[in-house]
Structure 1
Amino acid sequence: MTKNSVVEMGSMGRVAYARIAPNEDLVVGVEKLCLAEGFSNAFVRGALGSLVDGCIGTRDGGVKHVKGPAVEVVSLAGEVRKRSDGSLKASLTGVIADPEGNVFGGPFAAGLNPVCVTFEVTLEEWLPDA
């Protein structure tokens, strides 16, 4: 068990099914969807789509660029949290596959993951107790 465990009480709220448009960044798009739906905090519950190119973080703090076209998102998980200044911050992690079938995983770098044709995402609102 880790020493830095945090337990937060709360409940699940509304569910939104939405589409992120072509060339819009995946991470920024999820943040915009939460703003549009009025979600201050949310979990990503499902996703389907591809990216023009993929860009994920590496263990050493670098960034791995995965060239497309059509980098497939095999899985996506994450959450969106409201910051103390009121802005939203999405932390998304996933697995992607390049056109040759090579597979990579890690956190998605904000601003560097443009949606290819379309991207569908399911978000569930999180309502932490006061």
Structure 2
Amino acid sequence: MTADNPTRQAPSQVVTTETGRMGRVAYARIAPNEDLVQGIEKMCLAEGFENAFVRGGLGSLVDACLGTLDGGYQQVTGPAVEVVSMAGEVRSTESGTPVASLAGIVADTDGNVYGGPFLAGWNPVCMTFEVTLEEWLPDNPDTA
């Protein structure tokens, strides 16, 4: 329970904050049939971004695969599943491998709308996908 609402359960996840500043901005295109999540990770490698925010994207997917609250997934079949909105971040592991966490809203060809986190390896780009990344430079990179 929380103080403002005795019937609502407090979130069980730990929230941390960090200070830092924004760095460079990169605009890039992900090619057809390349996975959306993995394409963004490759963009970070190419630009030398250890950490980044996904500021926006424009394009469609052949099919979409989104995570669900119960740990499962929902498959949205295309062709041409439109990405209505998308946001997320990329964090590098200790070995320097970028890992993207992306969530978004997609619409199928019938106009049905779905939302959730994009699952890596299951979201192939249809034609092309334009993405904007903004580098994040934490003040203390050891805690990022």
TM-score, normalised by the number of residues in structure 2 = 0.88
Whole-Å separation in 1 of the counterparts to 2:48 and 2:96: 12
1:32-74 residue CA offsets vs partner (Å, 9 max, x unmatched) = 0010000000000111000000000011111100000000000
- Number of residue pairs the alignment of both structures matches: 130
After TM superposition, list the pairs within 5 Å mapping 1:84-123 onto structure 2.
Answer: 84-123=94-133
Q: Quick one: distance in 2 between partners of 1:93 and 1:11?
A: 23
Indicate which of 27, 31, 45 corresponds to 1:17.
27
Percent of matched pairs sharing the same residue:
70
Separation in 2 of the partners of 1:5 and 1:112?
28
Higher relative contact order (CA 8 A, sep 6+): 1
**Structure with the greater alpha carbon radius of gyration:** 2
Partner of 1:126: 136
What CA RMSD, in Å, does the superposition of the two structures yield over aligned residues?
A: 1.1
Distance 2:70 2:39 in 1: 26
1:68 to 73, 78, 84: 78
Distance 1:114 1:84 in 2: 27
* Alpha-carbon distance between aligned partners in 2 of 1:24 and 1:64, rounded to the nearest angstrom: 20
User: TM-score with structure 1 length normalisation?
Assistant: 0.97
Q: Which amino acid aligns with 1:4?
A: V
